[in-house]
Structure 1
């Protein structure tokens, strides 16, 4: 009987893990990743533009 309880517990854990991993890559996660990428790209573009402006005016402080 003790063996059956352990086996049942393991089966429940495996089933739970399978359900969680199946739902892990959904539409909301993909949308969030695209938003993160867009924000990072926009930040990089602003920094590049700032650096270009500072180089064109020979600014002493090149950090943006």
Structure 2
């Protein structure tokens, strides 16, 4: 009986001490550098245009042979 009361009081003490812990403040990471949307869009459009031109040239040369 004494052991069960001692065990119950120890468990209660541990539970109460765990509840009183405060969380550490979170540190926010700096924001990543992002390329502006118009600049990125124009780079993507030029890459697509170059790829389409290459494909069209390859198709034209293949058709002429």
TM-score range, shorter chain: 0.5 to 0.7
Matches of 2:57 and 2:46, distance apart in 1? 17
Runs (5+) with no aligned partner, structure 1 = 55-64
3-state SS of the aligned residue for 1:16?
A: coil
Is residue 47 from structure 1 mapped to residue 58 from structure 2 by the alignment? yes
User: Shift in Å at residue 26 of structure 1?
Assistant: 1.1
Is residue 16 from structure 1 mapped to residue 31 from structure 2 by the alignment? yes
Based on CA coordinates, which of the two structures has the bigger radius of gyration? 2
| TM score, norm. by length of structure 1 | 0.54
Using CA pairs under 8 Å that are at least 6 residues apart, name the structure with larger relative contact order, 1 or 2.
1
Structure 1 runs of 4+ with >6 Å offset: none
Q: How many residues align?
A: 44
- Structure with higher helix content: 1
Which of 22, 31, 36 is the matching residue for 2:42?
31
- Alignment root-mean-square deviation, CA: 2.5
Runs (5+) with no aligned partner, structure 2 = 1-21
